[in-house]
Amino acid sequence: MNIRKILNELSEPFHALQNRLFAKLYFAQTISLLGDAFTWVGLALLSYQFGKERSALILSSALTLRVVAFIIFSPFAGVLADRIDRKKILYITHFMRMGIVACMPFITAEWQIYVLVFLLNVFNAFFTPTYKSVIPTIVDKAIYRQAIGLSTATYQLLGMLGPGLAGILAIWLGAREIFFVDAVSFILAGILIVTLPGNLIKKSKEVLSNEKPLTTWQDVVKGARLLFKNKLIRFALSIEFVSAIAGAQILVNTIGHVKSGLHLTDKHYGLVMSAFGIGAAVAAFVSGAIDKSKSRKVSLIVGALILALAISSANYMNYSFLLGLWVLAGLGQSLAEIPSETLIGENIAEEEQGKVYGSHFAFSHLWWAIAYPVAGFLGSSFPNTNFLYGGIMTMILLAIAYSFFRPKRQSSHLKPSV
C-alpha cells in the first residue's frame, strides 16, 4: 500500500500531460533543455581549454553575463507576454537562439565566449518568462501545480543529467562538436513550437476600456511591485538568493574540484553533475506532496538547509562521497526554488502574471549575478576550501532570511494580487 502511494505521488505530475497543448509545449521544452545542457558542458570544457588555472573565472564571467542579460531584458519580456501573441515570442526567440548556438563550435578566443553567451541569453530572457506565463493559461488550476512540478523537474533533470550525456558525447565527438547536437535539438523543439495552435496562446486579458493602459516601463514597475508585495513570494525570493549562493558554488567550482582537486576526467565531471540533477529532479517530482501549505515554508527552509550542509564538506570528500553529497544538494536546490513559480500562479491575477513572471525571472537571476562572481572568487582564491566557505555563507544568509522575511502568520484568505 505504501509503495502504491509512493508511486502515485511520483506519477502525479505526469497527469498534466493529458492536456495536449501543455504536452506539446512540454516536449518542446524537454528537447531544448537537453540541448542546453550540451551547451553549458561545452562552455565549461572550452573554459578549461583556454586556461586551466582560470577556468573558474572564465566560466563564472560567462555565467554572470548570462544572468545580466536576464536581469536587463526579462522584465520587458514579461510585459510583452501580457500584450502580444506569445507564440510569436516563443518561436522567434527560439530560432534566434539556435543560430547563436550554431556559431559556438567556431569559437577561437575567450572574448567570443562572452559575446555569444550574452546574445544567447538576451533571447533566453524573452523566451523563458513567456513560456512560464503560458502554462497557467492553458492548464486548469486543478493540475497547475502538477504542470509546474513536471516542467521544473524536467528542467532540473535535463539541466544536470544532460552533462553526463554531453561528457560521453564529448569523448566521441569532441568538446566543440557537441554544440552541433544542441543546434539540432533546437530544430526539433522549434518544429513543435511552430505547430502550436496560435489561437490557443493569446495575450492576457485586455485592460478594461475605462482604464488607461500603462506604459511599458509602468508595467515593468508594476510587475516588480506585485512580486514583492506578496509576503509569501517575498520570502520565497529571499530563499532563492540563499540557494543561488550555494548553487553557484556547484556550477562554477565542481569542474575545478573534480579535475584539479580529485585529478579525474570530463566523464567524472559529467557524472557528478548528473547526480546533482537526479536529486533535483526527484525533489521536483515530490515537492508538491511534501509541502502542500499555502506558504511552502517547510519546503523552502528545509531545501536551503540541506543544500548548505551538502556543499560544506565537499572539499574533504572523495569522489564516491561527492556523488552522494551532490544528490542531496540537488534535492535541496529544487525544494528551495520550485515554490516561487507556484506561488505566483496561485497568488497573482491571471492578467498580471506575464509581467510578474518576467520580474521574478529578472530578480531570481539577479541573485545568480551576485552569486557567480562570489563563487568565482572563492574558487580561484581558496581552491581547497571554497565549498566550505560557500556553505558557511549559505547558512548565515538562511538565518537572516528566516529571521527577517519569513511570513509571521499564514493568512487563510489570501487572494490574487491585482
Residues linked to residue 185 through DSSP beta bridges, in sequence order: none
Contact yes or no for 33/159 (Cβ under 8 A): yes
pLDDT tens sequence across 120-143: 888 888 887 778 777 777 777 777
Cβ-in-10-Å burial (0-12, 13-18, 19+) of 20 comes to exposed
Spell out the alpha helix ranges (H) of 291-410. Answer: 297-312, 319-347, 353-381, 386-404
Contact yes or no for 121/369 (Cβ under 8 A): no
pLDDT at 163: 57
The three three-digit cell numbers of residue 95, written as one number: 530560432
pLDDT at 224: 79
pLDDT tens sequence across 163-205: 556 666 666 766 677 777 777 888 888 888 888 776 555 544 4
Asked if residue 40 has pLDDT above 70, the reply is: yes
Whether the full predicted model's pTM is greater than 0.85, yes or no, is no
Spell out the alpha helix ranges (H) of 313-352. Answer: 319-347
